[in-house]
């Protein structure tokens, strides 16, 4: 049996008619970019999250970059973030002229450690960018306390955490700006690229709306240098269908994680993820503490079972930044230990059992 890391086909088959109708409606309308469905999606996401503003853009990366600029962060500023994330996190900071500063992570949550943030604050620090990695909310309580104490802006990287909650609040709604990705593999994924910025700040929202359309409020009246970052209507229509089911899908992902944890209980030298309140398990990621991660990954591949390492190289060790920062030892350690297993809402328990059996066999090789 071939088992992929993610299978989107069951989701499509279950809602094929709704998806086809939504796409056909856009094709008939002839309004393909920033049309009525984009505005409706923005309103529906804002209502779901409980925020004043949601602004659709063309990717999660642009959501981060525009969110930073809209929050007033730019040339010469420092933004503290995690090294243990996809490159878009640090890249967005660099691309607005600021400098990413890497604070190490908590080994249990894989998220940025608030105590490490405190040690990285300088007079140039203007912001914090926590990442809710794998769908687990970062410790936003302490992070917001630090931000308030030092007058810092918080831009939440929610690329992997749509629908996740921290102490009853959705990720993306606790900082000054929340940035979401709708890349197809996300918990709420489009059929192409897409992203969204959310905020309760009217001025941030106004600037974000300008920046996504070349820095203009009205055509041919460009006020600042902006971007061409518009969410297209077909993606918005698809996301409007999917938004209705996100809570059920996220709940199913938690059940998958619980099942994996049960199947892996007692397997020596493997650390399974904590199932904390609000975790939506964009990825189900385990740790190998015996140096056998790569061997097991290769063995799974030989059985036709996909797995992924998110992320093999911490951001501060990538060629673009290497040698510029002090070490982040916990991130470096976990980069050699983590492995993400197949997960999607509809994955069958038999498949999970096969994956776990493969892991056990791989450990014995």
Task: Give the span between the Cα atoms of 343 and 110, in whole angstroms.
Answer: 18
| Structural domain contains residue 252 | yes
The verdict on 206 and 284 lying in the same domain is no
pLDDT score, position 14: 97
Q: Using 50, 70 and 90 to split pLDDT, how confident is the model at 186? A: very high
Task: Give the span between the Cα atoms of 276 and 274, in whole angstroms.
Answer: 6
The verdict on 137 and 180 lying in the same domain is yes
The verdict on 54 and 184 lying in the same domain is yes
Percent of the chain residues past pLDDT 70, beyond the cut: 100
| Residue 44 near residue 262, CB atoms below 8 Å | no
Task: Give the span between the Cα atoms of 195 and 62, in whole angstroms.
Answer: 7
The verdict on 105 and 53 lying in the same domain is yes
The verdict on 207 and 288 lying in the same domain is no
The verdict on 320 and 344 lying in the same domain is yes
Residue 142 in this model has a pLDDT that exceeds 90: yes
Phi, psi of 128 (to 5 degrees): -130, 135
pLDDT, tens digit, 9 for 90 and up, residues 214-247: 999 988 999 999 999 999 999 999 999 999 999 9
Range of the domain at 136: 9-243
**Domain containing residue 90: CATH number:** 3.40.640.10
**Domain containing residue 285: CATH number:** 3.90.1150.10
pLDDT score, position 130: 98
The verdict on 200 and 92 lying in the same domain is yes
Give the mean pLDDT of 134-156: 98
Sign of the Cα pseudo-torsion (138, 116, 145, 80, in order): negative
C-alpha dist (Å) from residue 107 to 74, 79, 100, 112, 188: 31, 22, 21, 9, 27
Residue 169 in this model has a pLDDT that exceeds 90: yes
| Structural domain contains residue 2 | no
Q: Using 50, 70 and 90 to split pLDDT, how confident is the model at 75? A: very high
Residue 282 in this model has a pLDDT that exceeds 90: yes
Task: Give the span between the Cα atoms of 229 and 211, in whole angstroms.
Answer: 8
Task: Give the span between the Cα atoms of 210 and 279, in whole angstroms.
Answer: 33
**Domain edge (last residue) among 243, 267, 286:** 243
Neighbours of 226 (CB within 10 A): 19
Burial 183-213 (b: 16+ CB within 10 A, else e): beebbbbbbebbbbbbbbbeebbebbbbbbb
pLDDT score, position 365: 87
pLDDT score, position 195: 98
pLDDT score, position 157: 99
Q: Is this model's pTM higher than 0.85 or not?
A: yes
Helix (H) or strand (E) holding 154: strand 153-157
Residue 265 in this model has a pLDDT that exceeds 90: yes
Mean pLDDT, the chain, integer:
97
pLDDT score, position 81: 98
Domain count, the chain: 2
Neighbours of 249 (CB within 10 A): 18
pLDDT, tens digit, 9 for 90 and up, residues 297-348: 999 999 999 999 999 999 999 999 999 999 999 999 999 999 999 999 999 9
| Structural domain contains residue 103 | yes
pLDDT score, position 94: 98
């Amino acid at each position: 049996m071939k088992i992929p890391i993610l299978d989107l086909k069951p989701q499509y088959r279950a809602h094929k008619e709704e998806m086809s109708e939504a796409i056909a409606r856009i094709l008939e309308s002839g309004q393909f970019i920033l049309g009525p469905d984009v505005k409706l999606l923005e309103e529906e996401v804002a209502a779901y999250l409980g925020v004043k503003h949601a602004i659709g853009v063309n990717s999660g990366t642009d959501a981060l970059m525009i969110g930073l600029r809209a929050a007033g962060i730019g040339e010469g500023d420092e933004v503290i973030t995690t090294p243990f994330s996809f490159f878009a996190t640090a890249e967005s900071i660099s691309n607005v002229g600021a400098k990413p500063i890497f604070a190490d992570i908590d080994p249990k949550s894989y998220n940025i450690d608030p105590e490490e943030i405190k040690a990285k604050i300088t007079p140039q620090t203007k912001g914090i960018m926590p990442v809710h990695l794998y769908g687990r909310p970062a410790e936003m309580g302490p992070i917001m306390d630090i931000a308030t104490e030092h007058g810092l802006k918080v831009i939440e990287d929610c690329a992997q955490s749509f629908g996740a909650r921290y102490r009853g609040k959705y990720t993306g709604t606790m900082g000054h700006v929340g940035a979401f990705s709708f890349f197809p593999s996300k918990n709420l994924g489009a059929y192409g690229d897409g992203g969204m910025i959310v905020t309760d700040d009217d001025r941030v929202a106004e600037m974000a709306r300008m920046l996504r359309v070349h820095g203009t409020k009205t055509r041919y009246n460009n006020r600042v240098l902006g971007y061409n970052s518009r969410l297209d209507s077909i993606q918005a229509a698809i996301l409007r269908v999917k938004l209705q089911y996100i809570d059920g899908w996220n709940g199913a992902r938690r059940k998958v994680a619980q099942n994996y944890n049960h199947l892996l209980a007692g397997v020596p030298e493997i650390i399974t993820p904590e199932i904390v309140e609000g975790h939506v398990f964009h990825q189900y990621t385990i740790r190998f503490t015996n140096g056998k991660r790569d061997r097991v990954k290769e063995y799974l591949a030989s059985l036709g079972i996909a797995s992924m390492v998110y992320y093999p190289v911490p951001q501060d060790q990538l060629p673009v930044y290497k040698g510029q920062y002090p070490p982040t030892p916990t991130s470096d350690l976990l980069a050699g230990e983590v492995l993400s297993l197949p997960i999607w809402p509809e994955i069958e328990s038999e498949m999970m059992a096969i994956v776990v059996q493969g892991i056990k066999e791989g450990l014995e090789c």
